[in-house]
Amino acid sequence: MSENQEESGVAGMDDKETRSESLVIGESTEICEGMGSTDDMLRQMMGMMKKMVTKEEISEEINTQLGEVKRKIEENNTNIKIEIKEGIREMAKSFDIKMENLKLEMKRDMKQALENNRREWGVEVRNVQRKVVEVEEEIRCVEAQNKDWYEEIDTRLKAEESYSKENFERKESEMKKNKEEQEIEILVMKDGLRKNKQEIEEIRRELGTREKKMYALPWMGAGMDWEKIEKFTGDGKMHPMIFLKNIEEMVKNNRRRYGEAYTRYEEVNMIRGLMRGDAQLWYETMEEKIGRYEEFKEIFRQQYWGELEQEKIKREVQVGRYNKSMGTREKYLIQKYALYKHLDNIVEEAVIIGQLAGHFGEEIKERVIKDNVRTYNELKNILKRFDLVDEEKGASMSRGARDEEYGRTGNRNGNQGGNRYGDENKREELQRYNRNRGFNYGTWQRNDYIKEQRENRDFNRRENEFQNRGNRFDRNEGRHDIGEREQTNRQIHNVNVQNNGREQISGVKSIRDEDRIETVKVDVHCTCAI
């Protein structure tokens, strides 16, 4: 009994040692059941040690392979960098080649363009040279004529040495006079031939149409349109933008109809004639800055339709109120909406209609909201119906009741003398019409006479302004308009004045008029072939 217990105790201890060793070795070691001897345990331990040695070798081999892989990766990276650098170099070389080709192509195009321009310029230069040669040839012809004439004079003087001293001095003075006239003619011819053909044609056209313009000005040709345009006074009775629109239509029409004959001076003079009262005074202060319609339009908008004026209209649209003394509701709406249409920054139509509806009281405003009125025509139709109701109501009321009703609403003064309802008012209007008709008929002839006198004064004033036209343009446009053509005209004028003095002394008729010079024409006849 005791021996069996001892054997079982030893076996139990061996089992414990075996289990402890298995725990130390690890979970991967398996010990077969029933093999608990020491030899078996040693064999198992040796096997496990071999396996551990094998794992270390494997890890070393793996590390070796990883190092090899890293080395290859580094080599690949180095090769890739080298290839990228080579590719960049190739791209740079290709880009340089393309840039060189582009530069060559641009140089070739520029050279071709310069060559074309050189050919065109060559043609122009040859034309100018040809004209210069022609002028020089004409001058040589004139000089040859003068030379022949001088030689003839000298020959005659030598052949007539027996003449007296008095006759000799007379011949000498005539020769000097003729020589000076010939020199003046040469100077005039040089100045005239130096100008191209187009400028000469412009001078002739201007001289040919100047007399016509004095008797038929553009706004006189369109007299009915000019007279129909309402004059602007600046008192608020006429909208400034409507006035500008009327002027712009007339200016465009005259420019299209008359072309160059409709000058800037005439355009500005027409605008001046449409200003009255305070507006005319304002125009006189700004006249120096106005040289054409476009400049007038800009300055006029700043004065009469600037930001302050438009803000005033906007506030009036927002807080204004209708009164029966202002006329019908429809008329009031048309006036306010016309002002609103010309604003620079226009609000949406539905918003402005809502604001205008508030001018006519709560009843109409509620009606607009209820019917969802969003357009100008819809609101106008509603106001027409309200005006019709008031008209029917007023026609059925007596004069006293109507005055009492208007007094209750604060419009008694608007009703007095201006009521358009009832038979009594119709009779008063008829009597007033007959009185005005008789007066107007009686003054009809007097008005025609006044109109005729005014037209005569305007014609005389315009004629004087045409004479001083150059000074006006100097003031409005600067002196850049006075070019070679104007200088040539002035030289011709001075030469003609000198010529005229000599002609009067010699008894030859002057080419001038009695009062002023209209035009000067110099004819030079060349006998030699050009």
- 277: alpha, beta or left? (left if phi > 0; alpha if psi -120 to 50): left
Mean pLDDT of the 209-215 span: 43
Q: What is the pLDDT of residue 491?
A: 62
CA-based end-to-end distance of the chain: 168
Residue 499 confidence (pLDDT) above 60: no
Q: What is the pLDDT of residue 94?
A: 83
The confidence band for 64, taking pLDDT boundaries of 50, 70 and 90, is: confident
Q: Determine the residue type at 267.
A: E
- The dihedral over CA atoms of 510, 511, 517, 520, expressed in degrees to the nearest 10, equals -140
Q: What is the pLDDT of residue 81?
A: 85
Weakest mean pLDDT among 68-77, 163-172, 453-462, 495-504: 495-504
Cα(382)–Cα(367) distance, rounded to whole angstroms?
A: 9
Cα(222)–Cα(256) distance, rounded to whole angstroms?
A: 12
The larger pLDDT score, comparing residue 370 to residue 492, is at 370
Cα(436)–Cα(438) distance, rounded to whole angstroms?
A: 5
Structure tokens at 527: 């006998």
Weakest mean pLDDT among 23-32, 101-110, 136-145, 196-205: 23-32
Weakest mean pLDDT among 80-94, 348-362, 443-457: 443-457
The fraction of the chain above a pLDDT of 90, given in percent, is: 1
Q: What is the pLDDT of residue 527?
A: 46
The larger pLDDT score, comparing residue 211 to residue 95, is at 95
User: What kind and span of H or E run contains 53?
Assistant: helix 38-159
pLDDT in tens, 101-159: 888 888 888 888 878 877 777 787 788 878 888 888 888 888 888 777 777 777 776 66
Q: What is the pLDDT of residue 153?
A: 76
pLDDT in tens, 245-273: 888 888 888 888 888 788 888 888 888 88
DSSP H helices, 160-239, are 165-194, 197-215, 218-221, 223-228
Q: What is the pLDDT of residue 132?
A: 82
Mean pLDDT of the 71-99 span: 85
Whole-angstrom Cα Rg for the chain: 55
Mean pLDDT of the 431-458 span: 64
Residues contacting residue 238 through CB under 8 Å, at least 6 positions apart: 230, 232
